[in-house]
Amino acid sequence: MKINHLTAAEENLMKLFWKLDSFYLKDIMEQHPEPKPHQNTVSTYLKILVEKGYLSTQKEGRIFKYKVLVPLEGYKKFLLKELLHHFFNDSGKEIFELLFNEKLISKEDLKDYFNHLDMNPVKSKAPKLEIANEILNNPKKDKKGKDKKKKKKKD
């Protein structure tokens, strides 16, 4: 699924939608903090977000029920990858250095993170080499699968 960029206003509404997950227009109007936007404005944004693929609609009588299609985590990953690509030359190291140098992440954060990781490497089973062993250990066969016998010259 391709994720599209959101404007600041669309992003602010999506923050509310991510909390609700499934909702009607009246739910948004009730939940939106003051100053509340006009209902027509919200309807326009809902239409745009449906077109961008962030929301889906289901008609229930005369009204629409909206459902979030792009989860918050998906949007966060999209934004981080965009940031990484456009400003950090696709280098996780560069973004990490900035976070660390600007004290946006601490050594304790890193210790906690790495302590929670399973640092034991996964041991994979060695592949069975039955076919290779068969080829290496069997006498040569011709294209039809018959054993080739070496003819010895009689002296």
pTM score, whole prediction = 0.65
Quote the pLDDT of residue 6. Answer: 93
Instruction: Decide: helix, strand or coil at residue 67.
Output: strand
Quote the pLDDT of residue 69. Answer: 95
Instruction: Decide: helix, strand or coil at residue 63.
Output: strand
CA distance 13 to 7: 10
Where in the chain are the domains? 8-68, 72-116
Quote the pLDDT of residue 128. Answer: 62
Quote the pLDDT of residue 73. Answer: 94
Q: Does domain 8-68 have CATH number 1.10.10.10?
A: yes
Quote the pLDDT of residue 147. Answer: 54
Task: Please list the pLDDT of the chain residue by residue as tens digits (155 residues).
Answer: 678 889 999 999 999 999 998 999 999 998 888 888 899 999 999 999 999 999 999 999 999 999 999 999 999 999 999 999 999 988 888 888 888 889 998 888 888 888 887 655 555 565 566 665 666 666 555 555 555 555 555 54
Quote the pLDDT of residue 114. Answer: 81
Of 20, 13, 84, 90, the residue nearest 52 (C-alpha): 13
Quote the pLDDT of residue 91. Answer: 87
Instruction: Decide: helix, strand or coil at residue 55.
Output: strand
CA distance 1 to 59: 23
